[in-house]
Amino acid sequence: MLNTSVGECKKRLFEILKTQAFFKGDFTLSSGKKSSYYLDARLVTLSAEGAFLCGKLIRALVNDKNPTAIGGPTLGADPMVGAVGTVSFLEGRPVKTFIIRKEAKGHGKGRMIEGPELKETDRIVVIDDVATTGKAFLHSIDALAQDGLKPVVCACIIDRQDGAKEALAAKGVEFVSLFTAAEFLKD
């Protein structure tokens, strides 16, 4: 599977997301909004195949940005960060990886960003599993800004198309996704 084309990997990831992580019903999203469907991407990103596919595809999605550091907000980004790091190593172009806490630790160094030290010269990519309003991305951008850092792009597996792109544009950060919610809503 390491040498499988990006197109084939994307097709497979969509298939497993659609069959294992897409649900119809009445849901309340983390943004507080109501929805008639839910995409629980962690059901896929926490599987061996899903993690690998996400790692490979996120890496390919942001490759043109020449990233040197890739990370994102806990909990959605956690499994993907490890996968992207592993894929980058296997490709011979390892990147730093990091996780952004919801709030700074109350002990130790009191850090909000966990992982190797990030520098202003790093080309930082922030990733997450699903984006709705962009709240987790905005939190991540603010956490990075506290250390004088700014991402070159934010990327996710699925854009629910509910304001994330616009919210990030207002912060001057590009946003890309592998899939949109509209693709999952097609019958």
DSSP H/E element including 145: helix 135-145
State the pLDDT at residue 111: 83
Q: What is the pLDDT of residues 130-170, one digit of tens each?
A: 999 999 999 999 999 999 999 999 999 999 999 999 999 99
Higher pLDDT among residues 109 and 28, named by residue: 28
Q: 20-28 — which CB contacts under 8 Å span 24+ positions?
A: 20/44, 22/184
What is the band of 70 on the pLDDT scale with cuts at 50, 70, 90?
Answer: very high
Separation of alpha carbons 141 and 173, rounded Å: 9
Distance, CA of 114 to CA of 27 (rounded, Å): 31
Q: Under a CB-based contact definition with an 8 Å cutoff, are residues 97 and 69 in contact?
A: yes
Pairing of strands 69-73, 124-131: parallel
Residue 1 pLDDT greater than 80, yes or no = no
Q: DSSP label at 171?
A: T
The distance of Cα 112 from the centroid of its chain, to the nearest Å, equals 17
Structure tokens at 20: 């294992």
3-state secondary structure of 121: coil
Q: What is the pTM of this model?
A: 0.95
CA distance linking residue 138 with residue 75, whole number of Å: 15
pLDDT at 33: 85
pLDDT at 41 (0 to 100)? 96
Reading the block at residue 61, the tokens are: 């999605």
**Could you tell me the domains of the chain?**
58-185 (3.40.50.2020)
